[in-house]
Structures are given as structure tokens and as C-alpha cells.
Structure 1
């Protein structure tokens, strides 16, 4: 298990990266929306390789703890790529600003997460990031989060969606912006638990989340001292 000092250092290191304008440009050298084509192609290729390699390695029986929520190895050949979400975060320093605004402060972290579907149902996520100048699949898993994301996005068709992870608050959100509308946030399961939110379906104003997020960040950082 990692020590508290190591985890705390990692949190602050990430916060420093997010709050630095230079690093924000490095993470997203082009408009994030323009990354979708290359990122989704990398996700599709990664998923194809993942399916083929695991089918070859495990045959007809998947091991315990397999990263995707599959009923059996027979589903590997039919896996499809679903919705994709660019990933953003916000640093503790940004949250403490007097004029804190979640949508305005969201900074791309440099990766995308795509829902993996089996028979039309979400069974996990593939995360892609840019390495050595090209997009590549980096990890597979997060079955529960994939179901959460798919349900939130499906409830608001046509809205532009961005995935927000506030690491130090251990909270995930989906920012939803309808055409001509104001950005609002769907609190995903981690956020509802961490911030003690009771409304599952309703979209929330970012302003209403600032204080709960600040409190969660303070509590989490204090627990590592």
C-alpha cells in the first residue's frame, strides 16, 4: 500500500500540472473536440487488440477480476465502441479562488475515455492518451463508471458532454451543455457518495457544487496529514 505522503505528493503534483497554463497547452495543443477522430480511432484499435489478445490467452473462460463486466469470453468478439468523453480536472487552488467557476476552470488532462458496449450495454471503459505523438489505448476497466456515464449521457441526448474528475475530492461529474444552454453537471456515483448528494437524476449548477467540493478537498487533504 502506498504511504500517505506518497499519495499526497501525487495529488499536489497533479494539482500543479492542472493549474499551470503551460502544461494545459501541452495537454491539449489543439482544440479538444478536434482530438476526437484520432482518439476514437486509437480506442477502436486498442479494443480490437484487447479482444483478440484476451480471446487467444484465455480461450472460452475469462479469469476472475477481468476488467470488463462480461458474462463470458464469447462476448469479446462482439465488443463495440460507444460514446467518448474528453477528461478534465480542476486543482484545489482553482477551487479556492473567489471567482471559482467549474466550467471555466475545467482543464483537459490529456486523455479520453470511451464506453465499451456488449450487446448495446456498457461493460467498461477504454482510456486513450497521447504517447510519443500518437494516441494509444492505455487502460481498460471501470465497468461501474461506464454504466454511470452511459446513463447520464443517454438522459440528455444532444447535449455536449465533458467528463470532470476532481481528484482531491474523489468526485466524478459529467458536464452537460445543451445547444444554446448553460452548462450543468450530472453528479456521478463517486460524487454523490463523496459529497453526500441525494439527487441522482437532476442536473446541478456548478455554483452549487463549489462549497461541497471545497469541503471534500479540505477533508481529504487533512486526512493525509
Structure 2
């Protein structure tokens, strides 16, 4: 969903709002330098494990009720999705204690992060910004994106759709603020689609970075 390739994986990566996902565990095993941040990391392994178990049926039930909003290709069914998600969260739980000790899991949340300017080469944010547009207003989105630009040379956000499948109403205003700050903003198609229609990511290249122009979908061009 982020079009990651060799050069990006060689840098310092921040995963923002990662929750109980296995990206950090998988990337670390491959030698990638990743820090994940989320408020959930203030809890211990047992508490997070209990929360996963307590909410599993509710989450899967909601997906089953709205399964027409998803593309069932690489994952053929709701039941298979449940297995995939539980396997990913189990991988996270196994890695979590060591990751806390190593400083790879940091308790933090947008729109204010406890990292220095230029701490990362790339910041990734999936299924938080834009997805929860009803719960998080435009000021939160704009401030969060600018904060991510403060700590990373490049920022990528996926998806751009809110829950329900419509383009987030906060996208245009957030892009305007980013461009006003001098950042280069583009929308790029990715080779991933599970939420129907969610196949684009926002790519922000920081104003003071030495970046190559984005190839596709520059907003306002």
C-alpha cells in the first residue's frame, strides 16, 4: 500500500498509528530500521492481547455486515481475513516485549510526536488519517500531516477514503496547507486495494528535502 522498495527500506522509517500490526516485526527481521508509535503501547502485552480477543468478534462482525465495501481477491472471505489479521497480531505480540526494550515501539499520538526534527527518512501512516474523517476534524488532519513532515523527509498516507468509501472531506484542505508550507504533494496509485476504491496514497515530500519530482497525480498541477 506504500510502494516501498529498496531505497526506502534502507532509511529510517516511522510507522505512525501502527497499533498491533506486524510491520515492525517483519521489517526488523529483514534488517530495516523502524520505529512504531501509537498510544496503545502504553499498555503491556497481556492487556493488548486481552483487548484483541475482546474486540475480535465485533470487528469481524462489522466487516461481515459491510463486506460489499471490500474487494475479496487476495483475501477470499471474511473468515480468511480473520485468520490473516489474528496471525499478524500474534506476530506483533511475540515481538512486542523485545521491541519495547529496543525502543522500536513508542507511546505517542498525533498531532504531537516526541521525535526531533528530521529524525526519520520516511513516515508511514495507514488507516488512521482520512479514514476516520468523521471522528477527526480537518485541523487534526492538517496539523498531523505537518507534524509528520517535521519529523520525516517524506510522508506517505493510505488510504484517502473515509469509512463508507467516499474521498475524505479533509483531503483538499490538508493538501492546501501542505502546499502553502512549501511541501510537494502528490497522489499516487498503489498496487493494493482491499477497501473498495482505496487504491491511492498521499505522498508528501518535505520542502527542504532533496527529492525527485513525483511521477503521477500532482495535486494542483
TM-score by length of structure 1 reads 0.27
Rg (Cα) greater in structure? 1
Q: TM-score, normalised by structure 2?
A: 0.27
Identify the structure with the greater strand proportion. Answer: 1
Structure number with the higher helix fraction is: 1
| Larger RCO (alpha carbons 8 Å, 6+ apart) | 2
